A and B are shown apart, each in its own frame.
Chain A
Amino acid sequence: MTAPLAGPWSPDVATSDAALRRFLHGLPGVDQVGAEARAAMLATRSIKREAKMWALDTAVSMIDLTTLEGADTPGKVAAMCAKARRPDPTDPTVPAVAAVCVYPDLVRVAVEEVSGSPVAVASVATAFPSGRASMAVKLADVRDALDAGAQEIDMVIDRGAFLAGRYGQVYEEVRAVREAVGSALLKVILETGELATYDNVQRAAWLSMLAGADFVKTSTGKVSPAATRPVAVVLLGAVRDFMQAGGRRVGVKVAGGIRTAKEAVSYLVVVRETAGEEWLTPDAFRIGASTLLNDLLMQRTKQRTGFYSGRDYFTID
């Protein structure tokens, strides 16, 4: 757990590379053992009956239904969009998911398929997933997605620059993308699996928030480990501290490896107990997933009918 930030901060912490470094390294350190123990403790909490039903529905409404494969086709995206709008065709009370997330070249297909529904279209950009391209290419990637109609952009940070300590460069990249994105939602993927320490995760989160991120996101889903509960504890602590220190309310998106309803619900517990209840909305917490949705629907069916359901009764992806 991170303590609330000591001392005031101002936007000028980012005026120079040295000032930014001083600020990020001045953040209170993350107690690794404490964060892991707390995450493990929160994961054991049992959610039953009405609360579970609420949690399952809430989790569905927070999903960014994602397909980021080389083999994606317009047909697959269309099918996924249909599922995003109406996750369970037999049950209209299931909420729609928050967004669909696709590669930039498939944004146009997705926009057409979800039009007239509350589902937003998110696109990964900035040379996803590695982020290894020049700034011009990254910005062109972003513009491409926006021109096609994406309402949310999931960018990746340059982990190489971050780990080499070139915080100013990473900050400027996020700033530049922020400007390019304009009023659309900007999620910044930290790829926590490559950042090595929780202190680095916290620094990357603060850096992104200072640079204007609307969401900080754990992972691309292409690197293992992807989202973990301790990382979620650290990120949610960071967004809470950022808000308490006079910043905005920044959201958190966990992505990658969350496949069961049980895990999803345990993340909601972490959100509630770390950042607070006001983060328990799709505006402030998202889950990037694909197979998770079916498990949520299956558990929901179990709650509703009293009988365990099976994979045969839900669409495949």
Chain B
Amino acid sequence: MPERTDHLGHLEHLDVRKTYKLFVGGAFPRSESGRSYAVRAADGSLLANAALASRKDARDAVVAARGALAGWAGTTAYNRGQVLYRVAEMLEGRRAQFAEEVAAAEGLRAGAARRTVDASVDRLVWYAGWSDKVAQVLGASNPVAGPYFNFSVPEPTGVVAVLAPQSSSLLGLVSVVAPVVVTGNTVVVVASEERPLPAVDLAEVLATADVPPGALNVLTGRTSELAPVLAGHMDVDGIDLTGADPSSRAELERLAAANVKRVVATDEDLARTPSLRRLRAFVEIKTVWHPVGI
């Protein structure tokens, strides 16, 4: 970008280039490996350098997510919904910036980019609303032949790794992350490899939107490098393979089997109106018996 000068040729404003970093445990560290990679716009021009996360960054993110799990899962569903609403509010407030980012990343026209951002905000609100309703829909009070109450209650799976879709940098990301977070899981998300910048900006929104540190962690880098680490990690309870290369899915599922991770691998169109499917993906239904009258 050319520097602006006044009529005497004096510099009016020096561009401050933004450093895109990771989002781990509520902080914005660089990759521990010190690596970064060039992120290009859809037209091939250089947008910025993003952090190239290493396997150790993935491990640190899992540690942060595990640490945050008890707190986030223990928060009331109402409260989790409020936090997600807040994220939507903050995103709404930065519409213009996100529209610009999405337009550059995905090569969309301004109008289409704005609509994508609006759809992302809507998506967050939609999932936020489900927060304290999902238990009614997925849970049940079961009829049993005896003096007992019998309840089935959805509970979060735990630490979930999400490989965000590669093409849709913001709407796709929000569509895969929001349902996992709102049901009380903590998340390590690997952003789109070629289009990671909206994800890092979203992390800045999360950091100021009362999302507890570690509940949602964002890594940027090579999906093919990070996916096997997360799939094989024994302290990750579930993995969403949406953004994985289809040819690598079988191997990732094999790695995930080591600790019986819950695996989601679908090719649905994320731009369409969502269903309950993703909300159901990372919850465990726990059934408890309770004697009547106590």
For the complex formed, measure the closest distance between the CB of A299 and the CB atoms of chain B, giving whole angstroms: 10
CB neighbours of A307 from chain B (8 A):
232-234, 258
Tell whether B229 is near chain A: CB-to-CB under 8 Å: yes
Could you tell me the distance between the alpha carbons of A313 and B59 in the complex, rounded to whole angstroms?
16
Interface 0/1 of B48-66, CB less than 8 Å to A: 0000000000010010001
Could you tell me the distance between the alpha carbons of A311 and B65 in the complex, rounded to whole angstroms?
13
Tell whether B235 is near chain A: CB-to-CB under 8 Å: yes
CB neighbours of B259 from chain A (8 A):
310
Tell whether A312 is near chain B: CB-to-CB under 8 Å: yes
Tell whether A9 is near chain B: CB-to-CB under 8 Å: no
Tell whether A309 is near chain B: CB-to-CB under 8 Å: yes
Interface 0/1 of B229-244, CB less than 8 Å to A: 1001111100000000
For the complex formed, measure the closest distance between the CB of B227 and the CB atoms of chain A, giving whole angstroms: 13
For the complex formed, measure the closest distance between the CB of B88 and the CB atoms of chain A, giving whole angstroms: 33
A227-251 at interface with B (beta carbon < 8 Å): none
For the complex formed, measure the closest distance between the CB of A199 and the CB atoms of chain B, giving whole angstroms: 36
CB neighbours of A309 from chain B (8 A):
234-235
For the complex formed, measure the closest distance between the CB of A216 and the CB atoms of chain B, giving whole angstroms: 33
Could you tell me the distance between the alpha carbons of A308 and B159 in the complex, rounded to whole angstroms?
14
Contact assessment for B258 and A311 in the assembled complex, using a CB-CB cutoff below 8 Å: no
Contact assessment for B229 and A308 in the assembled complex, using a CB-CB cutoff below 8 Å: yes
Could you tell me the distance between the alpha carbons of A312 and B66 in the complex, rounded to whole angstroms?
11
Nearest neighbor of B62 in chain A, beta-carbon distance? A308
Interface 0/1 of A278-317, CB less than 8 Å to B: 0000000000000000000000000000111111110000
Interface residue tally for chain B (C-beta within 8 Å): 11
For the complex formed, measure the closest distance between the CB of A90 and the CB atoms of chain B, giving whole angstroms: 13
For the complex formed, measure the closest distance between the CB of A259 and the CB atoms of chain B, giving whole angstroms: 12
CB neighbours of A308 from chain B (8 A):
59, 62, 229, 232-235
CB neighbours of B258 from chain A (8 A):
307
Residue in A307, A308, A309, A313 whose Cβ sees the most chain B Cβ within 10 Å = A308
Interface 0/1 of B214-249, CB less than 8 Å to A: 000000000000000100111110000000000000
For the complex formed, measure the closest distance between the CB of A46 and the CB atoms of chain B, giving whole angstroms: 11
For the complex formed, measure the closest distance between the CB of A91 and the CB atoms of chain B, giving whole angstroms: 15
Interface 0/1 of B36-55, CB less than 8 Å to A: 00000000000000000000
Could you tell me the distance between the alpha carbons of A306 and B255 in the complex, rounded to whole angstroms?
12
CB neighbours of A306 from chain B (8 A):
232
Could you tell me the distance between the alpha carbons of A309 and B62 in the complex, rounded to whole angstroms?
11
Could you tell me the distance between the alpha carbons of A308 and B230 in the complex, rounded to whole angstroms?
9
CB neighbours of B235 from chain A (8 A):
308-312
For the complex formed, measure the closest distance between the CB of B238 and the CB atoms of chain A, giving whole angstroms: 13
CB neighbours of A310 from chain B (8 A):
66, 233-236, 259
For the complex formed, measure the closest distance between the CB of B228 and the CB atoms of chain A, giving whole angstroms: 9
Could you tell me the distance between the alpha carbons of A310 and B234 in the complex, rounded to whole angstroms?
6
Could you tell me the distance between the alpha carbons of A306 and B236 in the complex, rounded to whole angstroms?
15
CB neighbours of A313 from chain B (8 A):
234
Could you tell me the distance between the alpha carbons of A307 and B254 in the complex, rounded to whole angstroms?
13
Could you tell me the distance between the alpha carbons of A308 and B235 in the complex, rounded to whole angstroms?
7
Nearest neighbor of A307 in chain B, beta-carbon distance? B232
Contact assessment for A311 and B66 in the assembled complex, using a CB-CB cutoff below 8 Å: yes
A78-118 at interface with B (beta carbon < 8 Å): none
Where the two chains meet, the residues of B that have a C-beta atom closer than 8 Å to any C-beta of A are: 59, 62, 66, 229, 232-236, 258-259
15 A-B residue pairs with Cβ-Cβ distance under 8 Å, sorted by A, are A307-B232, A307-B233, A308-B59, A308-B62, A308-B229, A308-B232, A308-B234, A308-B235, A309-B234, A310-B66, A310-B233, A310-B236, A311-B66, A312-B234, A313-B234
Where the two chains meet, the residues of A that have a C-beta atom closer than 8 Å to any C-beta of B are: 306-313
Q: A307-B258, A308-B229, A308-B235 are in contact. List 20 more A-B contacts (CB 8 A).
A: A306-B232, A307-B232, A307-B233, A307-B234, A308-B59, A308-B62, A308-B232, A308-B233, A309-B234, A309-B235, A310-B66, A310-B233, A310-B234, A310-B235, A310-B259, A311-B66, A311-B235, A312-B234, A312-B235, A313-B234
